[in-house]
Structure 1
């Protein structure tokens, strides 16, 4: 298996991560919001990202969502994936971040935050590992510790799961398990 070329500094930061916090629009989805004629909101989620989240749970890394918008679809997807903490309609993302840290008894260097736009920067900078998706705003990418190979809603969270698995020398073993299922 050919693994991506990752710096030792990045791998060390990734190895400390016990919690991944994600934005929704532009990270778990492609950032587009669709409305039906009846006013229902529609979002798309990538199945690869879902498996990435499940792989993280399998190795004991918890997940959370902090988003400024509120959507029943996000609640449903979070339940399907077993995401541990969900904060929607959150105007003060830093308060939600601190609440999760306190609840999980974690320090900020044990947290990775992935975002795509300016409102995500405070949490990215506060986290031990700040991640931008490939199609994030240029300034967000400039301030990230790492940029995913895939765009938001198109496998970026799976890229992060693989990074965290690689940092623990677990990627090959986890993938090999699927050959024996």
Structure 2
């Protein structure tokens, strides 16, 4: 019987293999709906689309960027408010309206000269699986589609839009011994 070695963290015990993968990450790719947001879309009377973003996720993203890890967004939907959020956080790699997320992922690999083993991806639904299957560290939010959960290297303790991205950012920073590197940042 194989025994899984774990490392205790503030998010509970995490498999050592996950931490080893996280130590190699140079690029984090995030989905949006159901990951950076809770998956709900609010529509105003004039047709404008509204979403809620978690400030803790934003802080985690800023910490990663400050520590030298690139962050990108690949999403199937398109929204002006996401451009604003990406700009606020300092995310320069934004791919919206992507029905085939693998195309954007492969473009990012070339553009940033990173290898698949240096990429983490966090998603919540089956559209995310093709990219998750290729990256070094695949993560699913706690409330992801049930078919996605067992395929992910790591499942967050926190639901999408509630700090799940921050949890993954912390895990990467912890694995790279950079968790304290970004004190004093604001979002």
Range into which the TM-score falls when normalised by the shorter chain: over 0.9
CA RMSD in angstroms, aligned pairs only? 1.4
Determine if contact 2:30/2:36 at 8 Å carries over to the other structure: yes
Deviations 1:148-170 (A, max 9, x none): 11111100010011100110123
Q: How many correspondences in the alignment? A: 176
After the TM superposition, which parts of structure 1 deviate over 3 Å for at least 4 consecutive aligned residues?
1-4
Match status 1:174 vs 2:181? yes
Q: TM-score, structure 2 length as denominator? A: 0.90
SS of the residue aligned with 1:60? coil
Deviations 1:90-143 (A, max 9, x none): 122111000000000011110000000010011111111010001101111110
1:44 match:
52
Q: Give me the whole-angstrom Cα distance separating, in 1, the residues matched to 2:159 and 2:105.
A: 24
Judged with a 3 Å threshold, the aligned counterparts in structure 2 of structure 1 residues 95 and 133 are, in CA distance, closer, same or farther, namely same
Q: TM-score, structure 1 length as denominator? A: 0.93
Determine if contact 1:62/1:84 at 8 Å carries over to the other structure: no
Q: Give me the whole-angstrom Cα distance separating, in 2, the residues matched to 1:167 and 1:33.
A: 34
SS of the residue aligned with 1:6? strand
Candidates 163, 168, 174, aligned match of 1:160 = 168
Where does structure 2 lack aligned partners over 5 or more consecutive residues?
Answer: 1-7
1:54 match:
62
